[in-house]
Amino acid sequence: MNDINQMTWQATNDRQRKSWVASANEPESDFPIQNLPFGVFSNSQNEAARVGVAIGDQIVDLTVLADHGLLSHKRKTFARSSLNDFIALGQTEWRALRVQLSSLLDAGNAVLRDNALLRQTVMVPQSDARLHLPVDIPGYTDFYSSKEHATNVGTMFRDPKNALLPNWLEIPIGYNGRASSVVVSGTPVKRPNGQTKLPEAERPAFGPCRKLDIELETGFIVGTNTRLGEPIQCEQAEAHIFGMVLLNDWSARDIQQWEYVPLGPFNSKGFATTISPWVVTLDALEPFRCAQPEQSPAPLPYLRHSGRHGFDIRLEVDLHGVGESEASTIARTNFKYMYWTMAQQLAHHTSSGCNVRVGDLMGSGTISGPTSDSCGSLLESTWNGQRPMTMPSGRQRTFLEDGDEIVLRGWCQGDGYRVGFGSCAGRIVPASESA
């Protein structure tokens, strides 16, 4: 870590630091002063979408802080319906703002703490706010970077001895998805219609998906524009990443099985992808950096980076099944298991000369771990429906039913505090009537 990065970490990530916002100091709060994630919100007092930062159970309205001259940025930077304009200012400005906010929210700083009138306009309860999609997303790419997930799927559908295809250990596999159908947490997800073909059928049929699934993922938001033909070097790739979100790449497995040969997912993936509303910066995640899994064979030179590029992010999936009185946790895993790192994904994505834009979303791919309860998809945990789950009521389930709600959660656990992402939720509603 260079001197500037070290100073930034010391100023904003001190584990002993407390805020005058009491709820931020609760051990299980996702949003302590060490986090300060960015999002876009509105509320009944001001229906205009604008940029805010989460602290405890509150949102800091950055437009109001700017109006009062408490930030080095002007109001227009934050009076926006997306983070894109702010992100485009670059890493130096991201860090400078986080340092300013950390100071203003510190327990020892009286500027806001002791000004009740100003606090009333600056602070908005999260319970009173509507959270919006945090970024305008020009492009969306989904990777396939969990070795455990790829091995499970390969074992399920191919010879277990050849579960991983020869290219999997050489390149971060990915495909270009649909940016237009990325939605914010809380948006209902309509069951997709599509073509499916039963093994005994002569021809496919068109109708609602029968094997609707989740994919527990994270995503990172690209923070810089690049020019066509100019790759991003792996060692410098993280400087081009603004932050991370939780991501559920809903999947229609029966539609996918029929359509994916020869070109891969299409309608089976393009109907909805849900992301969490708060973007957690890489600086906030810095204390939880860890070594990535050993890569063998060693990657080609353009995919090599020194140091540690994994992050210890705990992940859970809750399913509140229709007709069930309570939710149940159906998966627990960790981002640290990911074989290919975010830096390698971005370096590979641009290695051909493909340009990226501010706000581009890059999905990690399903995150599965080494145990049976750490599968990031129902496809794996039920082994394509052959091993049903038992719900709290005793009912057995395989894939998602109409009325089911899925909630993803993720956090990094510190000593007496956590840096969290909030939740990423979606409820399944019935498919449209087919023509």
pLDDT number for residue 155: 95
CATH at 418: 3.90.850.10
Helix spans in 1-146 (H): 3-12, 62-67, 84-87, 91-104, 110-113, 116-122
Domain finish residue from 132, 162, 194:
132
Same domain, 390 and 256: yes
Active site residues: 149
Read off the amino acid at residue 31.
F
Q: Is the residue at 9 inside a domain?
A: yes
200: number of Cβ within 10 Å: 5
Q: 110, 132, 154 — which closes off a domain? A: 132
**Model pLDDT for residues 335-389, shown as the tens digit of each residue:** 999 999 999 999 999 999 999 999 999 999 999 999 999 999 999 999 999 999 9
Element (H, E) at 151: helix 147-157
- My answer on whether 250 and 347 are in the same domain is yes
Residue 433: predicted pLDDT = 86
What's the total number of domains in the chain? 2
Residue 435 lies in a domain: no
Domain-embedded: residue 171: yes
For residue 238, is it within any domain? yes
DSSP string, 238-271: GGGEEEEEEEE--EEHHHHHHH-TTT--STTTTT
* 146 & 125 share domain: no
Q: Whole-prediction pTM value? A: 0.96
For residue 434, being part of any structural domain is answered with no
Domain that holds residue 251: 140-429
The pLDDT value given to residue 13: 83
Shared domain for 279 and 335, answered yes or no, is yes
369 with 425, same domain? yes
- Does 159 lie in the same domain as 121? no
pLDDT at 1: 45
Domain-terminating residue out of 132, 157, 192: 132
What CATH code is carried by the domain that includes residue 102?
2.30.30.230
Both 125 and 249 in one domain: the answer is no
Statement to judge: residues 276 and 414 lie in one domain: yes
**Domain assignment of residue 78, yes or no:** yes
Positions of the chain with pLDDT lower than 70, given as ranges: 1-11, 434-435
